[in-house]
Structure 1
Amino acid sequence: MGRSKLEKFATIAERDNVVQDGDEKYGNLKGKWRSEHFGNNNPIVLEIGCGRGEYTVGMARLHPEKNFIGIDIKGNRIWKGSTMAVEEGLENVAFLRTFIETVSDHFAEGEVDEIWITFPDPRPKDRDIKRRLTSPRFQEMYQYMLKRDGIIHLKTDNQPLFDYTLEVLQDRKIKHLVSTTDLYSSDLQEHTMGIYTTYEKRYLAEGIAIKYLQFKPVRES
């Protein structure tokens, strides 16, 4: 990309579509993303661990009637998605630069309509189980932020992470679970909207099957 990290950090610090520590909005949009950031009442969709924001931007292109927020801590990665959104004039895209562990500090209960987790770090070591983005710890955060009947999606190339996630879901109250270990040989690929990340294209070229699941957490109250 030809730009240093410092230049990218400086660029996103000036952009309206990036919210990060040091901004006036950072930490002050909980329950107010629609009214004070997007200026509409459209559904909110999150991409957790968005990386370069390819999925966030891809969904925003297809669905101008929804608001999309990519969440990641890596500023140089967010710069890429932010730049794509600016160049394409997509006003229904935002990026929140923060640690995923704190994501529920930025959204009110029931504020989010849908969550995507796309190709997260599988964290294969036992000591990192709590850091897996589909662990019970994170599932609690997602359930808090999601509205009733809100949907969670997972796409991954990693079979152990996929199996782990299904095991976690066995102990949680959920409904409408659908899953496949080979997305592009299944009838579920319509749910992914034909969007491919750079990593996904690489995995498919290597003959690695993409795993996918979606479900709805059941809220007690």
Structure 2
Amino acid sequence: MHALGLPVRRKLVEAGAFAEAVRIIQFANSRNIPILLPKDFWCLNDRLKKPELVPVHGILEGKILTLLCLILLRWSPVALGPSSLEEITTLLSKSKKVVWIGPVKFGSSIQDSNGTSILVKLLRKLSQRNCDVTVVGNMACKALMGESAAFSSCNIIENVSVIWEFLKGRKLPGLMALDRGYPYTIDWHAIYADPTQPLLVDIGSGNGLFLFGMASKWKDTNFLGLEMNGKLVKRCLEAMHQSGLKNGYFIETNATSTFRSIVSGYPGELVLASIQCPNPDFNKPEHRWKMVQRALVEAIRDLLSSNGKVFVQSDIEAVALRMKQQFLKYGNGEFTIDHQEEWLRENPFGVQSDWEQHVLHRGVPMYRLMLSKSVR
């Protein structure tokens, strides 16, 4: 709210987070992602024991009391107001995935318990309607369980610090240890009709539109999608089975840490790896990217066949440039750019992902790059 110029009590503002908030707003605007802000609050001041409802623009106006002199008492928000709750519940009721991190309140109030109860009841209904609900943080989990003990359909994660590290794209030691201790063992013969065919791996395959198009077009190549969203993977596997195609498959995984373990056991050659429109993480001024990290680049470099290809693209030039830099930096001199122009004008495969179609429909350019592996 402070970054957008809305009135906020100075004591509630974390000064060091201002620049980060501005970057988040700019990124959201570039992707047409709405950010919902409160319209009203239940507020207190030093002289009031009962909260009063205050519109968001009235927070700094305060309340004037006449004693022997005029005293301006600033409002302190303690909970979301009814208009804010109504807008939030309307948005949530249309959602397929909800992540609730942290408490709803700023302080103790009777109105807050009512607001929390409204949200908890809505989340219970959503979770029963096949909405993926995750509640993160000790206070949020307590609020949830305090309203209802029957929340088996929700994901409950009390340790919020671990989630922040995961969302930042950090490598969590526990997950890395599990990947090393329990490497993937895959029956490739059960997956593909011919597991000796060349393999193309799409990292972050999303809803699988790109791989479905490629598998239909190139019957003499096998295609593997690696995707973290389990629901998308499930739908892709069902659609692949219904299509009758025997050269496509999807795995739910974090490819950053498991790519080497999965692909190293494939009987044939890895001829191409693609990374398309990864989500950037603007957590740091220098930008940290969730997906394209050194470990992934080195795994692709080591497993890719001689003269194999790497295709990357993004609708955000800084993301595409960062991916290019990562491959050239950690490729040990084995990657070269295939083309003379800075970015490829057209998709070299003639098959577009869903996000690529969305971007081009908006008239926004895609930044594409093709790299070749050439062992020195």
Same fold per superposition (TM over 0.5): yes
Does the 8 A contact of 2:337 with 2:369 survive in 1?
no
Matched, 1:57 2:212: yes
Corresponding residue SS for 1:151 = strand
For 1:192 and 1:180, how far apart are their aligned partners in 2? 18
Q: Structure 2 stretches of 5 or more lacking a match?
A: 1-95, 97-128, 133-182
CA distance, structure 1, for counterparts of residue 308 and residue 190 of structure 2: 22
Aligned to 2:372: 216
Question: What number of residue pairs does the alignment pair up?
Answer: 191
Shift of 1:111: 4.0
Supply the distance in 2 between the matched residues of 1:146 and 1:37 (Cα, whole angstroms).
Answer: 21
Change in 2 beyond 3 A, CA 1:28/1:170: closer
On the 8 A contact 1:180/1:211 being kept in 2, the answer is no
Task: Please name the residue that 2:277 is paired with.
Answer: 119
Which residue of structure 2 aligns with residue 178 of structure 1? 339
Aligned partner letter, 1:177: D
2:301 corresponds to 1:143 = yes
Q: Residue 179 and residue 84 in structure 1: after superposition, are their counterparts in 2 closer, same or farther (change >3 A)?
A: farther
Q: Name the CA distance, whole Å, in 1 between partners of 2:212 and 2:342.
A: 25
1:2-21 to structure 2, matched below 5 A, reads 4=130
Superposition pairs of residues 65-144 of structure 1, within 5 angstroms: 65-100=220-255, 101-108=257-264, 111-126=269-284, 129=288, 131-133=290-292, 135-144=293-302
CA distance in 2, matches of 1:36, 1:219: 33
TM-score, length of structure 1 as denominator length = 0.74
Q: Give the Cα separation in 2 of the matches to 1:212 and 1:130.
A: 17
Per-residue deviation, residues 27-57 of structure 1 (Å, max 9, x unmatched)? 113xx63x45324221111000101111111
In structure 2, C-alpha distance between the alignment counterparts of 1:111 and 1:128, rounded to whole Å = 34
| TM-score relative to the length of structure 2 | 0.46
Q: Are 1:28 and 2:171 counterparts?
A: no
Distance in 2 between residues matched to 1:99 and 1:154, nearest whole Å:
18
Tell me the amino acid that sits aligned with residue 119 of structure 1: C
Deviates more, 1:135-144 or 1:40-49: 135-144
Sequence identity of aligned pairs in percent? Answer: 18
- Mark the CA change 1:145 to 1:36 in structure 2 (over 3 Å): closer, same or farther: farther
> Structure 1: which 5+ runs fail to align?
7-25
1:207 pairs with 2:363: yes
Residues of 1 paired with 2:261 and 2:288: CA distance? 22
Q: CA deviation at 1:128?
A: 6.3
- Paired position in structure 2 for 1:159: 317
| Post-superposition offset of 1:160 | 0.5
Alpha-carbon separation, structure 2, partners of 1:118 and 1:138: 14
Which of residues 19, 31, 37 is equivalent to 2:191? 37
Name the counterpart of 2:169: none
- How far residue 192 of structure 1 moved from its aligned partner, in angstroms, is 2.4
1:131 is aligned with what amino acid?
K
